[in-house]
Amino acid sequence: MSITYLVTVSGPDRVGVGGELFAALSLLTVDGCLRDVGQITIRGTLVLCAEVTVSAGVSAEDLHAALATRDIVRDGMSANVSPVVATEATTGRLLLVTLLAPTVSTAQLHGVFAAFASVGATCERIVHLASYPVDCYELVVRGEDHVALREAVTTAVQGSGLDVAMQRAGLHRRAKHLVVMDADSTLLQDEVIDLLAEEANCGDEVAHITELAMAGELDFAQSLRQRVALLTGLDEAVLGRVRDRIRLSPGARTLLRTLHRLGYVPAVVSGGFVEILAPLLKELNVELLEANHLEIVDGRLTGRVTGPIVDRAGKARALERFAERVGVPLEQTVAVGDGANDIDMLSAAGLGIAFNAKPVVREHADAALSVPYLDTVLYFLGISREEIEAE
């Protein structure tokens, strides 16, 4: 027979507390085991918990006496020993809930935790992943019904200003080795076709066609052909001027640099144009690109595209090809995009992230970001600001 206790020491942190605790526990757990341990220090205040299983003859008083032999309870440090009783709160599967906002407030957290309680779920751990450029917390939540839990949290954060991602807990999250991004209004702040239209003095006409496509009156392929036709006769030298005007999204370089350093493979799939994107991505050390090709004859744009058009379905197919090339299953891929053209790609990926997207796109994504910083994608992968800023 055996019994399990939770031993908690808390108070002002000092050097050696962990060693003192485990030395004390070793006096009584020769025939038992350390089942779990957790520690957190906030502003110099320590909370250290150890779950230990000992023989049935060992009482809470015996554990307290062992702690006293190591002189742990001093200088404001306190200790508590309590038997562990299995309850509903300790059953169920784990779900990772990542919360992100410019500043996460207590009122926002109250709404989320009320959602947990409404479906009988409990939060086991909270990690503050970042405070810059946004606040980000990662919560490990235990619950029996993950569908109900997701629905409750999604409802709770609506209109609250919180972005949220919910994923099954486990090492598989860090195994998402391929990160595929849209270009226009995701990796880039700009829409390349609009910049080309300005050079061709047809910005209003291109904008009107874009509106028709967004309203569902034209599909992407139709709208692309009509917009490119308005560029007929444009000198190819314009492409260089447009590349010089392109602005990366805030955090884009940080995102790519961190992905490379941590062994992830970045890729870009775009409804834009290879002629614009390829030189830029070479500079950014991104080797995987799929986009449309402008036809150029005698140094001028013909107003046509060549080859298959990279549309909504084409983006999803590109994701699959890249995953096969990198050698990872789709479950280990991440897709990031903002438009309806990205929906199939977001749905196919292991983790689909809508980046400053319209509601219809957010509905098809696993997670959504409404902040302008592209490097916040890293937080949904469990990568902390400290890891991002590491040399």
Cα–Cα distance measured from residue 61 to residue 49, given in angstroms and rounded to the nearest whole number: 17
Q: Are the C-beta atoms of 36 and 52 separated by less than 8 Å? A: no
Q: Report whether the peptide linkage leading into residue 372 is cis, meaning its omega lies within 30 degrees of zero.
A: no
Confidence at 46, pLDDT banded by 50, 70, 90: very high
Note the CATH number of domain 2-85.
Answer: 3.30.70.260
What residues does CATH 3.40.50.1000 cover in the chain? 178-389
Residues 6+ apart with CB under 8 A from 346: 335, 337, 352, 353, 354, 361, 364, 365, 366
Largest CA distance in the chain: 91
Residues 178-389: name the CATH superfamily. HAD superfamily/HAD-like (3.40.50.1000)
Query: Residue 31 pLDDT more than 80?
Result: no
Query: Residue 345 pLDDT more than 90?
Result: yes
Residues 6+ apart with CB under 8 A from 74: none
pLDDT at 173: 62
**Mean of all residue pLDDT scores within the chain:** 91
pLDDT single digits (tens) 215-261: 668 888 999 999 999 999 999 999 999 999 999 999 999 999 999 99
Rg of the chain over CA atoms, in angstroms?
A: 27
Cα–Cα distance measured from residue 307 to residue 82, given in angstroms and rounded to the nearest whole number: 69
Query: Residue 384 pLDDT more than 60?
Result: yes
* Residue from 263, 46, 53, 268 nearest 176 by CA: 263
Distances (CA, A) of 75 to 12, 41, 44, 61, 268: 7, 16, 13, 21, 56
Least confident of 20-34, 55-69, 103-117, 366-380: 20-34
Assign residue 247 a region: left if phi > 0, alpha if psi is -120 to 50, beta otherwise?
Answer: beta
Residues 6+ apart with CB under 8 A from 158: none
Mean pLDDT of the region 76-83 = 93
pLDDT single digits (tens) 109-119: 999 999 999 99
Query: Residue 40 pLDDT more than 60?
Result: yes
pLDDT at 172: 62
Catalogue the active-site residues: 182, 184
Least confident of 78-92, 98-112, 243-257: 78-92
pLDDT at 171: 60
The helix/strand count (H/E) of the chain reads as 14, 15
pLDDT single digits (tens) 289-325: 999 999 999 999 999 999 999 999 999 999 999 999 9
pLDDT at 89: 47
pLDDT at 43: 87
Q: Are the C-beta atoms of 268 and 345 separated by less than 8 Å? A: no
What residues does CATH 3.30.70.260 cover in the chain? 2-85, 89-169
Cα–Cα distance measured from residue 234 to residue 196, given in angstroms and rounded to the nearest whole number: 9
Mean pLDDT of the region 187-214 = 91
From the candidate CATH numbers 2.20.25.570, 3.40.30.10, 3.30.1490.20, 3.30.70.260, the one assigned to the domain spanning 89-169: 3.30.70.260
The three-class DSSP label of residue 230 is: coil
Structure pTM? Answer: 0.84
pLDDT at 88: 46
* Residue from 275, 281, 270 nearest 345 by CA: 270
Confidence at 35, pLDDT banded by 50, 70, 90: confident
